[in-house]
Amino acid sequence: MADPSTSPSLTRPSVLEARELIKGFVHHTPTLTNATLDSLASTPLGNRDGDEKVEGRKSASPKIRLYFKCENLQRIGAFKIRGAFHALERLKREPGWEEGGGRERGVVTHSSGNHAQALALAARTNSIPAHIVMPSISAKPKIAATKGYGANVVFSGSTSVEREAVVMKVIEKTGARLVPPYDHPDIVLGQGTLGLELQEDARDIIAAAAGADSKNHEAIPAERGFRAPITTPNLPEKKRTSPGLDAILAPCGGGGMLSGVALSCEGTGIRVFGCEPWFEGADDAKRGYESGQRVEAVSTLTVADGLRTPVGKVPWGIIYERRLVAGFYSVSEEEIIAALRLIYERFKMVVEPSAAVPLAVALFNEDFRSLVEREGGEDGWDVGIVLSGGNVSLEALGTLFAPKEG
């Protein structure tokens, strides 16, 4: 990994520079809308089919319009490719790396799957050997894909401590350079590029919807890229004069993507919120944010397998110390699966459980929904949702959606 002291400053302009550096290697993924999910998000809990009644409190009644950033359609099926390519492009520019045999020694990382695939592909593209340490419980499609990209896969235990111990053995044996999955400025800046695209694309959609509304809701084609049909009529007047997102909900594991998205929103007025499962303490970032102390170890088997890692030091500095993330919300396993089912059945999109966590927050977390109702009022909020990845096996989906006995 390039020396962090040589990395660009952790600012929005640096995210813009990172986008220029990797634009030939990654897809500009689509931002899509869905009228059905907007309607569900804007309906109080207990009033939707399948909802349980909320006892003892009045359910929030927010107005929410959702804009889905489809990183499940990214290369390797997840946003991680952005950070991996940015990290390698920065490493290649490190003085003396090529001359000192860095290319031949290769790179190493640890990952449950998406960063593993991303680094494997980025390394293959650059003809650099890649050694990937993966937990033995990683999803089989992610292991197969990582090997398919030509990486040497080494298995480890599931905790971050176990992974890192195996990485150190690989480094001692090969001299490979570590490219961490999230805890490095170059990774953070690369991941943040998706936030730039989401902001720009949502702004275009909102502006086009406002124009369509003023012309009897006739659809106006977007100027560039693939867009969903406009499904948000009757936007309030303030949205017509100043279109753009009010907030972004992003999943948080190690925090590299969340902190990168937060950097991409710096100075824009867009609030960024982290989203986590709470099962078996998987909401470490939320707990750390609220206590003021970063949680350094997590052991959980949440269905959102990409979010089983603790927040890294570099992301923590952006998320908490600089307060570029406005807060955190967590959801249950049942809520994650319910959101995942809706994405499959009503959106027709293939995503992994981790990617469904932000939608679960928008649909089920009463604290977030109350915030939107309180601060958005009649106008409501335009909310970006990061669909972080789509790498999931059919067998895993069968297990998740199998009818419960009894």
Place of tokens 């962090």: 4
Tell me phi and psi for residue 189, to 5 degrees: -65, -40
Residue 80 bears catalytic tag: yes
pLDDT at 398: 87
| C-alpha pair distances (Å), 138 with each of 134, 135, 342 | 7, 5, 25
Domain boundary among 183, 203, 225: 183
DSSP 68-108: EEEGGGSGGGBTHHHHHHHHHHHHHTSTTTTTTTHHHH-EE
- Measured CA distances, 303 to 103, 138, 272, 390 (Å): 37, 12, 23, 14
State residue 98 phi and psi, 5-degree precision: -65, -50
Helices 114-125 and 140-148: crossing angle in degrees, nearest 10, is 10
pLDDT recorded at residue 215 = 52
pLDDT at 142: 81
- 152 lies in the same domain as 199: no
CATH classification at residue 323: 3.40.50.1100
Pull the structure tokens for residue 147.
């090997």
Q: Which of 351, 325, 372, 304 has its CA nearest to residue 66? A: 372
User: Does 6 reside within a domain?
Assistant: no
Place of tokens 């998205």: 261
Same domain for 170 and 193: no
- DSSP string computed for 342-396: HHHHHS-----HHHHHHHHHHHH-HHHHHHHHHHHTTT-EEEEEEE-B----HHH
Q: Which of 14, 112, 158, 354 is catalytic?
A: 112
253 and 360 belong to one structural domain: yes
Domain boundary among 119, 154, 183: 183
Q: Which domain holds residue 385?
A: 12-78+188-400
The structure tokens listed for 102 are 């860095």
Whether residues 297 and 351 share a domain: the answer is: yes
* 242 part of the active site: no
Instruction: Determine the pLDDT at residue 1.
Output: 59
CA dist 192 and 184 (Å) reads 13
How far, CA to CA in Å, does 38 sit from each of 185, 229, 364? Answer: 35, 14, 13
Say how many domains are in the chain: 2
CB neighbour list of residue 367: distance below 8 Å, 6 or more residues apart: 329
Q: Which residue among the candidates 14, 42, 59, 80 is catalytic per the annotation?
A: 80
Rounded-to-integer distance, Cα 86 and Cα 131, Å: 18
Looking at the fold, whether 348 and 366 belong to one and the same domain comes out as: yes
pLDDT in tens, the chain (406 residues): 567 777 899 999 999 999 999 999 999 999 999 999 999 999 999 877 766 655 556 799 999 999 999 999 999 999 999 999 999 999 998 888 888 888 999 999 988 778 999 999 999 999 999 999 998 988 777 889 899 999 999 999 977 788 889 999 999 999 999 999 899 999 999 999 999 999 999 999 999 988 766 554 333 333 333 333 333 434 444 443 457 999 999 999 999 999 999 999 999 999 999 999 999 989 999 999 999 999 998 888 899 988 988 999 999 999 999 999 999 999 999 999 999 999 999 999 999 999 999 999 999 999 999 999 999 999 999 999 999 999 888 888 888 898 876 5
Taking CB atoms within 8 Å and a gap of at least 24, the contacts of 140-145 are 140/393, 140/395, 141/391, 141/392, 141/393, 142/112, 142/113, 142/114, 142/116, 142/117, 142/391, 143/113, 145/76, 145/77, 145/113, 145/117, 145/120, 145/391
Instruction: Enter the tokens of residue 121.
Output: 């592909």
61 and 84 belong to one structural domain: no
In a domain, residue 88? The reply is yes
Is 60 inside a domain boundary? yes
Query: Is 354 in the same domain as 260?
Result: yes
Residue 2 placed within a domain = no
- Pull the structure tokens for residue 183: 């805890």
134 and 230 co-located in one domain? no
Which residues have a Cβ under 8 Å from the Cβ of 211 and sit 6 or more positions away? Answer: 220
Structure tokens at 13: 């302009």
Asked if 68 and 102 sit in the same domain, the reply is no
87 belongs to a structural domain: yes
